[in-house]
Chains A and B, each alone.
Chain A
Amino acid sequence: MNTIENQLKWEPKNKTYMITVSLILLLLFGWSLSAIDLSEMETQGFQVAINIITGILQPDLELLLTFNQQGVLYLLIETVAIAFLGTIIGAILAIPFAFLSASNVVPAPVAYVTRIVLIFVRTVPAIVYGLMFIRVTGPGAFAGVLTMSLTSIGMLSKLYVDAIEDLDTKVLESMTSIGCNIFEKIRFGIIPQLFAMFLSIVIYRFDMNLRDAAVLGLVGAGGIGAPLIFAMNAYRWNEVGSLLIGLVILILLVEWLSNRLRAKLVRG
């Protein structure tokens, strides 16, 4: 018996715990398998898959490269505009909500109520908001902008709150002690601490919103989604291909840009 083997014996034995967790996982897995019903699978599914792949490999280049109201480029710009405007509006409106739900700023009951409201706002899927806003403004990109703003408020204020609750209050105390008034405290004590964090959060959210905006068109709220679903329902796979290629390139580009900007913000 050498030292190594002795030491190995001291390893905590959590076998029962591991087995229980694995069993629970297996049970859940088995339970969820009941959702799968392969009997309804369409027989020509394989053929459709091949059609999709050939469509994506041979995209409709004319649609992809011409610039007019129906062209992919215009649709992509519209999608970006929806996401951009929605993010900006949401980013501004989320600030008061974030402060109202930060437990170190307002009394606990107020923070709690605001949090519950925000959970509701966050959980309702963007598409539902889209359908509701279409009743307000009629179909089109405007409804998309309003939807994006509302979902952004929910998501952004949650992320803002973490930044606000991490505020260094020592700075504020020392500013009080040298006689700063409340506006000076906000301007020189709070904004410098939060600005970079908030900006980074907003850029990240813009990245996410772009994906959501691409989907909103499915309900008629503008952007690239509507032509995509029309092309799919009509089995025009090369159009689908060119739309998807445009979307993927745009999202990758924005993601790369947002990562670079955020890295710059973190480094200062």
Chain B
Amino acid sequence: MYDRIFLPKKITLENGKTVYEKRSRLPFIVALLLLAVIISIRITGFELELLLERWMQFFVIIGQMIPPNWEHFSNIWVPLLDTIKMSLLGSLLGALVALPIAVLASSNIVKSKVVVALFTFFLSILRTLPTLISALIATFVFGLGTVAGTVAIFLFTLAYVGKLLYEQIENVDMGAFEAMESIGLTKVQAFRYAVFPQILPNYLSTSLFCFEGNVRYAAILGYVGAGGIGLLLNEGLGWRNYANVGIILLLLVITVFIIENASEYFRKKLM
């Protein structure tokens, strides 16, 4: 299509032959991107002058966070532990439930096309829902508190681990599975001994990675009332008590840093 509008360049070589060089698509793509940027600027009301005039305000807020209010620490650590508990429980349960669902969603194990389509669809719908929105819905069903947050994290982990897992199962070497089926093992047994060992390291590593990310997500779930440290964060920001926000963020960064490094250590060991 593009080549028909912008005809290829004709080059005559020294020996008299002519060759065609296709025109670069770069100008077209750049023009398209520029157009998109201009439209976005219109829609979002991006004003450089306002930004240049008031960008200091942002650093004023950061300045108020330093030094952090250390006395606030005694109020923080219980919600912080709640946050970790929520993400731990949600990730553990989610990763466990993801396994059977991923098996049902992988087309090389389950032969029924309807079942596979149903479960892949279920997983992709679940994955598109942002965690904060599922947490918001969960607060309506389970009431305010950590249960709603755990449910939101559980759903996200289920979707994320489930998707990566069924892609891995579909890429597994099926020879061993077929051989075991042919000597009379049931499908479950064959899966346990032929496929499971192949996906286990990846499964554990994905689950750990997901847990890592979940701690970050869990930190904001309190914003919609789903328990954890987000509630205090929201309170501090609402009352403009930035020194309190500063200590919360500092503790959060330290926690996430520790968990990330621990999980990275174990993931490297798994590989």
User: Which A residues lie at the B interface, using CB under 8 A?
Assistant: 25, 28-29, 31-38, 40-42, 45-46, 48-49, 52, 77-78, 80-82, 84-85, 88, 119-120, 123-128, 131-133, 135-137, 140-142, 144-146, 211-212, 214-215, 218-219, 222, 225, 228-229, 232, 244, 247-248, 251-252, 255
Asked if B58 and A133 make an inter-chain contact with CB atoms under 8 angstroms apart, the answer reads yes
Number of A-B contacts (CB under 8 A): 164
List A contacts of B46 (CB < 8 A): 85, 142, 145
Q: Which residues of B contact A137 (CB under 8 A)?
A: 47, 50-51, 54
Instruction: Assess whether A38 is in contact with B147, with CB atoms less than 8 Å apart.
Output: yes
With a CB–CB cut-off of 8 A, which chain A residues contact B164? none
Contact B40 A84 (CB under 8 A): yes
Closest B residue to A124 using CB positions: B249
Nearest Cβ on chain A to B41's Cβ, whole angstroms? 7
Taking the closest CB of chain B, its distance from the CB of A57, in whole angstroms, is 13
**In the complex, the 5 A-B pairs of residues with the closest C-beta atoms, listed nearest first:** A35-B85, A141-B44, A81-B40, A32-B85, A32-B89
Note all chain A residues with C-beta closer than 8 A to B141. 42, 45-46, 48-49, 52
**B57 & A136 in contact (Cβ 8 Å cutoff):** yes
Known: A34-B85, A49-B141, A144-B44. A84 touches B132 (CB 8 A): no
Would B143 and A41 count as touching, CB distance under 8 A?
A: yes
Q: Does B174 contact A (CB under 8 A)?
A: no
User: Does B125 contact A248, Cβ atoms closer than 8 Å?
Assistant: yes
Contact between A119 and B58 (Cβ–Cβ < 8 Å)?
A: no
Residue B73 is within 8 A (CB to CB) of chain A in the complex: no
Interface check B117, CB cutoff 8 A:
no
Q: Does the CB pair B92–A36 fall under 8 Å?
A: no
Q: Which residues of B contact A142 (CB under 8 A)?
A: 44-47, 50
- Interface pair A132/B44, CB less than 8 Å apart: no
Q: Which of A42, A124, A136 contacts B143 (CB 8 A)?
A: A42
Closest to B151 in A: A36
Contact B41 A85 (CB under 8 A): yes
* A52, B140: Cβ atoms closer than 8 Å: yes
CA of A41 to CA of B142 in the docked complex: distance in angstroms? 5
| Contact sample, A vs B, 9 pairs, CB 8 Å cutoff | A40-B144, A88-B37, A128-B245, A137-B47, A140-B45, A141-B43, A142-B44, A211-B130, A218-B224
CB < 8 Å neighbour of B89 from A35, A40, A146: A35
Residues in B with CB closer than 8 Å to A255 are 128
Quick one: given A81-B44, A133-B58, A140-B45, are A248 and B129 in contact (CB under 8 Å)?
yes
Which of B44, B46, B124, B125 has the largest count of A CB atoms less than 10 A from its CB? B44
Mark interface residues in B214-245 (1 if CB within 8 Å of A CB, else 0).
00100110011001001001000100000001
Partner of B58, one of A132, A215, A228: A132
Besides the contacts A37-B147, A123-B256, A127-B223, what 15 more A-B pairs have beta carbons closer than 8 Å? A29-B88, A29-B89, A46-B141, A48-B140, A49-B141, A85-B44, A88-B37, A125-B219, A125-B220, A136-B58, A211-B130, A215-B133, A225-B133, A229-B224, A232-B136
Chain B residue with minimal CB distance to A29?
B92
A37 x B253 contact (CB < 8 A): no
Is there a chain A Cβ closer than 8 Å to B146's Cβ?
yes
| Least CB distance, A75 to chain B, in whole angstroms | 11
A145 to chain B: which residues have CB within 8 Å? 40, 44, 46
Contacting residues, chain A, for B132 (C-beta < 8 A): 127, 215, 218
Is the Cβ of A232 less than 8 Å from the Cβ of B220? no
- B76 contacts chain A at the CB level, 8 A cutoff: no
Q: What is the chain B residue whose CB lies nearest that of A142?
A: B45
In-complex Cβ contact of B88 among A28, A120, A212, A247 (8 A): A28
- A115 shortest CB reach to chain B, Å: 11
Task: State A225–B124 Cα separation when bound (angstroms).
Answer: 20
Q: Is the CB of B130 within 8 A of A45?
A: no
A27, chain B: closest CB distance, angstroms:
11
Q: Which of B55, B57, B61, B128 contacts A252 (CB 8 A)?
A: B128
Q: How far is the CA of A248 from the CA of B144 in the complex (A)?
A: 25
User: Which residues of A sit under 8 angstroms from B206, Cβ to Cβ?
Assistant: none
Least CB separation from A84: chain B residue:
B40
Given contacts A36-B147, A81-B40, A218-B223, contact A132 B61 (CB under 8 A): yes
Decide if A251 touches B128 in the complex (CB within 8 Å): yes
Is B237 within 8 A of A128, CB to CB? yes
Closest chain A residue to B61, Cβ basis: A132
* A229: contacting residue among B40, B45, B86, B136, CB under 8 A: B136
Q: How far is the CA of A80 from the CA of B44 in the complex (A)?
A: 10
Q: Which of A35, A88, A128, A222 contacts B82 (CB 8 A)?
A: A35
User: How far, in whole Å, are A131 and B240 apart by their CA atoms in the complex?
Assistant: 10
In the complex, what's the smallest C-beta–C-beta distance from B156 to chain A, in angstroms? 11
Q: Which residues of chain B come closer than 8 Å to A222, judged between CB atoms?
A: 44
Once the chains bind, are A215 and B85 in contact (CB under 8 Å)?
no
Residues in B with CB closer than 8 Å to A38 are: 147
A42–B138 alpha-carbon span in the complex (Å) = 11
Contact with A along B89-115 (1 / 0, CB 8 A): 100100000000000000000000000
